Homo-oligomer: A and B are copies of this chain.
């Protein structure tokens, strides 16, 4: 809109991906609904995890058809992404698209499944960068995507479950300012996303944060030269590998095992020395403990993996 004298600036087109189509499972055979070129900036519109059906404290999650929970907007085919490549999604912004969000307790679910006797819904109001929780607690917004993933290599995973393709990772670092990497298992990658929260603690202990619809803006690129098995996140200061499994230690082994291999490659170390170094400089962090596969991320200061992928 603004150009200096003599300069000619061209605004890159933004590909708007509406919430008109969403998936409820990530499958190896799912079909693209949108198609964008590599290098495209997209604006993805996402309804909340209930499909925008929970509006008041009288609306219970029990009324949400489980087969239609966690709708993920997409899939988006990224042109030029071929099996074996890496899909990069640099998230520029996640804007909360509502003036309220919901948090629920569900009997037989969450970290304390037997202690919740009755379903409960709490609505938080959202205003000026803050959520007002329980009408009393002002919590700063930290918008994030709970569900984001690509077509898995084989089979299908519903959008409530995380695995190597991504999916319901419920990781608070899936936020504006980071770059996510995904394995490309099928041509076009087939990205989809949703289940956003205005704020959520590590663990997502009761099974929800403050669930909200959002508009996500970011850039899609295809990286070549090094394949990955599972999602990764590059933040301002760290690289993170993500692992999801039924058992916590198995999830730790996936995330940390990937990290040791990457440190060894980036620093030309033996596996054993990379393991020693990782015990000193990498952190295992809880993403979520309820989905029901658990998700863990292994995090290192960025310079330990420098050179593996271009910025």
B201 touches A276 (CB 8 A): no
For window 267-288 of A, CB contacts with B under 8 Å fall at 267, 269, 271-273, 275-286
For window 237-272 of A, CB contacts with B under 8 Å fall at 247-249, 252-253, 256-257, 267, 269, 271-272
Q: How many copies does the complex hold?
A: 2
Could you tell me the distance between the alpha carbons of A286 and B297 in the complex, rounded to whole angstroms?
10
In the complex, chain B residues whose CB is within 8 Å of the CB of A115: 271
Is A191 part of the binding interface, using a Cβ–Cβ cutoff of 8 Å?
no
Interface size on A, residues (CB 8 A): 57
Could you tell me the distance between the alpha carbons of A207 and B276 in the complex, rounded to whole angstroms?
9
In the complex, chain B residues whose CB is within 8 Å of the CB of A205: 252, 256, 275, 278-279, 282, 284
Is A203 part of the binding interface, using a Cβ–Cβ cutoff of 8 Å?
yes
A134 touches B269 (CB 8 A): yes
A253-B111, A286-B285 known; A105 vs B201 contact (CB < 8 Å): no
A248 touches B294 (CB 8 A): yes
Is A218 part of the binding interface, using a Cβ–Cβ cutoff of 8 Å?
no
In the complex, chain B residues whose CB is within 8 Å of the CB of A252: 111, 203, 205, 286, 289
B203 touches A284 (CB 8 A): yes
Is A85 part of the binding interface, using a Cβ–Cβ cutoff of 8 Å?
no
Could you tell me the distance between the alpha carbons of A257 and B273 in the complex, rounded to whole angstroms?
38
Minimum CB–CB distance from A174 to chain B (whole Å) comes to 15
Is A199 part of the binding interface, using a Cβ–Cβ cutoff of 8 Å?
yes
Minimum CB–CB distance from A71 to chain B (whole Å) comes to 21
Q: List 16 A-B contacts (CB under 8 A).
A: A103-B276, A103-B279, A105-B276, A110-B275, A111-B249, A112-B257, A116-B272, A120-B272, A122-B273, A136-B267, A201-B283, A203-B282, A203-B283, A208-B279, A210-B280, A248-B289
8 A-B pairs besides A199-B281, A203-B256, A205-B284 with CB distance below 8 A are: A112-B256, A133-B277, A134-B269, A136-B267, A201-B279, A209-B280, A285-B285, A286-B286
